[in-house]
């Protein structure tokens, strides 16, 4: 595929209507590459102008303009000569489609759909989605960016995770094991009936109702309530003796 610099594209003269039609006919009817090149050179400014709408990065600009030239080639192949319209009018959509489709692929470090990238540019995404797209395009996160700035977010905040780190996981598991052991030791002095009520009423994910426990243990509900009250008092005392804070147990 031919390539042209921006300066060369801007200097290339535009074709007259009949010259334009002859070039299209030469390409479509005879596969005349010279005719196609003439047509592309005269409209290359379209590709560069469309590319310049999306970036001022010289490397990206050249890549996007190349995609726009591909759009021009497709327009030349598909142009309907029966329609009374200039080639530049018809090719505008093909150029825009080629540039916009390549935009996300060229600019983003992480592949994202071009439609998503354009929606982010046009403000059609939520703040969180827009931030993620921006990070995909930038490819880097400045940890000190946003301090003292008027930006609506700080990229360093994206690095904050609610998950526990390795040391925190070990510490949490150790703490959980210790609490489980201390609770088991505090339950040992209780009677079997008291320990059973505590486990089923206070230590179960879904506490069982008094009626079902009372029926199973063969006691009245009022009797079971007294057992629970006494068991809780003894359990609290046993836990305090093992170092638990009274404020935690209240």
- 3-state secondary structure at position 179: helix
Judge whether 114 lies within some domain. Answer: no
HSE-up of residue 40 (Cα within 13 Å, Cβ side): 26
In a domain, 135, yes or no: no
With respect to residue 119, please indicate whether it lies within any of the assigned structural domains. no
Q: Closest by alpha carbon to 99, among 135, 55, 57?
A: 55
In a domain, 144, yes or no: no
Whether residue 105 contacts residue 114, with contact meaning beta carbons closer than 8 Å, is answered with: yes
Same domain, 98 and 24: yes
Total number of domains in the chain:
2
Sequence-distant (6+) residues with CB within 8 A of 25 are 35, 81
Examine the domain organization and report whether 96 and 171 are in the same domain: no
> Is there a contact between 172 and 164 (Cβ–Cβ < 8 Å)?
yes
Q: What distances in angstroms separate CA 86 from CA 37, 39, 206, one per listed residue?
A: 17, 12, 75
Identify whether residues 10 and 103 lie together within a single domain: yes
Neighbour tally for 121: CB within 10 Å: 17
Angle between helices 17-30 and 33-52 (to 10 degrees): 120
Write the DSSP assignment of 22-80 as a string of letters: HHHHHHHHH--HHHHHHHHHHHHHHHHHHHHTT---HHHHHHHHHHHHHHHHHHHHH--
Output the pLDDT for position 107. 57
Q: What is the CATH number of the domain that holds 81?
A: 1.20.120.1810
Q: What is the pTM of this model?
A: 0.46
Contact 48/65 with Cβ under 8 angstroms?
yes
- Boundary of a domain, candidates 79, 107, 135: 107
**Calpha distance 200→235 (Å, rounded):** 14
Pick the closest to residue 67 from 27, 105, 111 (CA basis).
105
* Distance in angstroms (rounded) separating the CA atoms of residues 199 and 206: 11
From 107, 123, 141, give the residue that closes a domain.
107
Domain boundary among 56, 84, 107: 107
Residue 92, domain member (yes or no) = yes
**Residue 30 domain-assigned (yes or no):** yes
| Residue 45: predicted pLDDT | 92
The Cα–Cα gap between 173 and 20 comes to 77
pLDDT of residue 27: 94
Q: Could you tell me the CATH number of the domain that includes residue 195?
A: 1.10.10.10
> How many angstroms from the chain centroid is the CA of residue 91?
34
Residue 161 lies in a domain: no
Determine the structural domain holding residue 41 and report its residue range. 6-107
Strand ranges, E, within the chain: none
Residue 159 within a domain: no
Per-residue pLDDT of the chain in tens (250 residues, 90 and over written 9): 566 788 888 889 999 999 999 999 999 999 999 999 999 999 999 999 988 887 777 777 888 888 889 999 999 999 999 988 999 999 999 998 888 877 766 655 445 555 666 666 667 777 777 666 666 555 555 555 544 444 555 555 555 556 666 777 777 787 788 778 888 888 888 888 888 888 888 888 888 888 888 888 888 888 888 888 888 888 888 887 776 655 545 5
Contact of 224 with 210, CB cutoff 8 Å: yes
Cβ atoms of 60 and 50 within 8 Å: the answer is no
């Amino acid at each position: 595929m031919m390539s042209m610099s921006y300066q060369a594209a801007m200097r290339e003269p535009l074709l007259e209507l009949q010259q334009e039609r002859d070039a299209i006919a030469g390409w479509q009817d005879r596969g005349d590459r010279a005719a196609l090149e003439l047509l592309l050179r005269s409209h290359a400014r379209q590709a560069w102008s469309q590319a310049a709408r999306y970036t001022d990065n010289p490397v990206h600009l050249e890549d996007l303009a190349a995609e726009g030239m591909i759009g021009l080639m497709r327009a030349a192949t598909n142009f309907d000569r029966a329609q009374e319209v200039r080639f530049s009018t018809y090719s505008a959509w093909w150029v825009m489609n080629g540039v916009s489709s390549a935009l996300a692929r060229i600019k983003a470090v992480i592949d994202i759909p071009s439609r998503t990238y354009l929606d982010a540019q046009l403000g059609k995404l939520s703040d969180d989605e827009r931030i993620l797209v921006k990070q995909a395009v930038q490819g880097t996160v400045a940890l000190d960016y946003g301090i003292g700035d008027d930006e609506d977010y700080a990229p360093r905040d994206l690095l904050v995770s609610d998950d526990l780190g390795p040391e925190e996981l070990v510490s949490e598991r150790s703490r959980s094991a210790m609490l489980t052991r201390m609770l088991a030791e505090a339950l040992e002095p209780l009677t079997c009936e008291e320990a059973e009520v505590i486990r089923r009423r206070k230590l179960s994910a879904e506490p069982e109702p008094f009626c079902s426990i009372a029926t199973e243990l063969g006691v009245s509900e009022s009797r079971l309530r007294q057992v629970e009250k006494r068991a809780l008092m003894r359990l609290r005392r046993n836990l305090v003796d093992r170092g638990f804070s009274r404020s935690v147990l209240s």
